[in-house]
C-alpha cells in the first residue's frame, strides 16, 4: 500500500509541473523524494491519530515536514496548466466515427 501511495504521489506531482514530458531528471529525483517524505508523514499522522505521539516523534515529524516543504519549493509548488485542447481534426474524426456507429 505504501509503494502504491508513493507511485500515486509521483504521478500527482509530475502532473503539477506539466507532466513527464516536461520534467528534468533532477525534478524526477526530487519528486520521488517528495513522495517518500509525504508518505512517511501520512503514516506518522495515522500513528498520532491513534494517540502514539511522543515529543521525539513530533520533532521528527516537524523536521520531515520542513524538508518536504524545501523539496517542493525546489521543484516548484505552483501548478502549471497544460494545454488539453483537442486537435480539431481528431475531434471531427471522432464525431464522424460516433455518428457512423
Looking at residue 2, what is its pLDDT? 85
**pTM of full prediction above 0.75:** no
| The pLDDT value given to residue 83 | 64
Report the mean per-residue pLDDT for the chain. 89
Cell of 37: 517524505
Task: Give the contacts of 16 (CB within 8 A, at least 6 positions apart).
Answer: 79, 80
What pLDDT sits at residue 93? Answer: 87
Amino acid at each position: 500500500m505504501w509503494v502504491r501511495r508513493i507511485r500515486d504521489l509521483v504521478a500527482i506531482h509530475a502532473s503539477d509541473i506539466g507532466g513527464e514530458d516536461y520534467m528534468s531528471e533532477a525534478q524526477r529525483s526530487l519528486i520521488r523524494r517528495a513522495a517518500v517524505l509525504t508518505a512517511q508523514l501520512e503514516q506518522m499522522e495515522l500513528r498520532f491519530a491513534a494517540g502514539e505521539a511522543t515529543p521525539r516523534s513530533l520533532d521528527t515529524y516537524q523536521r520531515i515536514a520542513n524538508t518536504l516543504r524545501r523539496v517542493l519549493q525546489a521543484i516548484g509548488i505552483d501548478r502549471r496548466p497544460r494545454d488539453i485542447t483537442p486537435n480539431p481534426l481528431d475531434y471531427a474524426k471522432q464525431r464522424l466515427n460516433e455518428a457512423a456507429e
